[in-house]
Structure 1
Amino acid sequence: MTSLAAPVPPVPADGPPGSVAWLRASVSRFSNGSEHTRRRSLAVEMLARVEPEALRCKAFSQAADGDAQSVVVEVLAGELGLPVVASDVVTAAAAYHPHVTPSAEAEAALGRLVAACGGPSELTAARIGLLMQACAATAGLIGNAVPLVLAGKLPEEAVAEVLRADPPVSHTRRRVDGEDVLVPLAGTPFGAGPRECPGPAHAIALATGVLAALRVTRGEGAVGLC
């Protein structure tokens, strides 16, 4: 078994419904086996109804209205039909991973997100999980690509270079021989196999939309206009 094919470290399954612990125990990201397959399929089905080009155009249009995280969340949530507040996603996302102790603010923000997305359920967890993972990773992709765009590269070129040489997520955790280990994602910035990111095209579209807007604000042409 290769390291990437190893299971992810298990998380406690007894968190109160609607809490950060509940979310971790209910999303595909921290699940294994049939639970992972079932939960990941919910995310895949949701993203299948979202056109990446629509994300790119809306990210381009809204890029001047906020920071990268907020724009990514607002655009994706809008296309998914989720009436969430972007700042709640950003706050709760900071406590998403199991090695982080959730703050009271993160718990409160997540509670509001759960209510806005339909109450505690696997579908709600899948919705919030998509927003959280897009929030951090896609904003990181944009941030890493900004210097390249400022140096004259087109958004698509900058994103491709970042994904090849400086991806925002460079490692993932796996349980190997009873120990939790960091596994590099070299050459596979969106993961691989059953745990591959369900929306690489969507992430790239959001990133290139924001970066295209940056070029326009600098007077470098209308590349990327919708």
Structure 2
Amino acid sequence: MLAAGVDPSEAARRVPVQVLAAALGAPDPVSAPVDAAALATPYATGVVGPVADADAVDRAAARRLGADPADQPRAVAVLDAQLLVQAHAATGGLVVEVLRRAAGSPGASTRQLIETVLRDAPPVRSTRRVAPLGGSARAAAEHADPAEPADRLVELRLDGPDGDATGGAPPRVLAFGAGPRRCPASEHAVAIAAAVVDVLREPAC
């Protein structure tokens, strides 16, 4: 990509998606980064832009999900597409931010930079969860307006310093979530990001 004149920040977004697409056996890994970029915003927000954007999203989704359901189970294709979108938005975003910081801290190791970014400025700054209300809170909510759901949507911050950190309890890193819904591929994401950053930090690049 670099030899072809692709900007390093653009390569940072493309490479994680292309590598993952090839590993998953996804169709046409070379075009996967373009499709993942088209799907990223609607995936995260549920909002599709103007008609032209909507058409591009539909075409990208069709390429990623495949025209023939017999090729593979639909659920597998959907999960693969989600992984590619996350590789574009999260892993690619991690690479871009680490490269930005590396420019100002050339002596820092890639691993140190990645850990710092994941702790203080992860590419995914928040996530949303549905929190069930219990006991009297649920009863009060249902009584106030029976048409309103008794559960509530909450936003959880994944960035910033850990206010509970102490000398005996190092800062927690929440970039990949926590508990049963923690990202199951955090080690893979860090490994891909580190490899891309290491190459792009080489003097020849």
Work out which of the residue numbers 168, 176, 200 in structure 1 matches 2:186: 200
Asked if 1:80 corresponds to 2:4, the answer is: no
Aligned 1:1-226 pairs, distance under 5 A: 67-84=11-28, 85-86=31-32, 87-101=34-48, 103-115=54-66, 118=71, 121-150=74-103, 151-152=105-106, 153-176=108-131, 177=133, 178-186=151-159, 187-217=173-203
In terms of Rg, which structure is larger?
2
Greater relative contact order (Cα < 8 A, sep 6+): 1
TM-score (structure 2 length as normaliser): 0.68
Question: TM (normalized to structure 1)?
Answer: 0.62
Q: What SS does structure 1 have at the residue aligned with 2:153?
A: strand
Q: Which sections of structure 1, spanning at least 5 residues, go unmatched?
A: 1-61, 220-226
Per-residue displacement from partner, 1:86-122 (whole Å, max 9, x unpaired)?
Answer: 2112212232124422622111111111117946611
1 CA distance for matches of 2:9 and 2:122? 25
Q: Give the number of equivalent residue pairs.
A: 158
Cα offsets for 1:178-212 (capped at 9, x unmatched): 33221112431101112111111111111111111
Give the root-mean-square deviation of aligned CA atoms.
2.6
User: Secondary structure of 2:66's match?
Assistant: helix
Sequence identity (%): 34
Q: In 2, are the aligned partners of 1:134 and 1:203 still within 8 Å (CA)?
A: yes
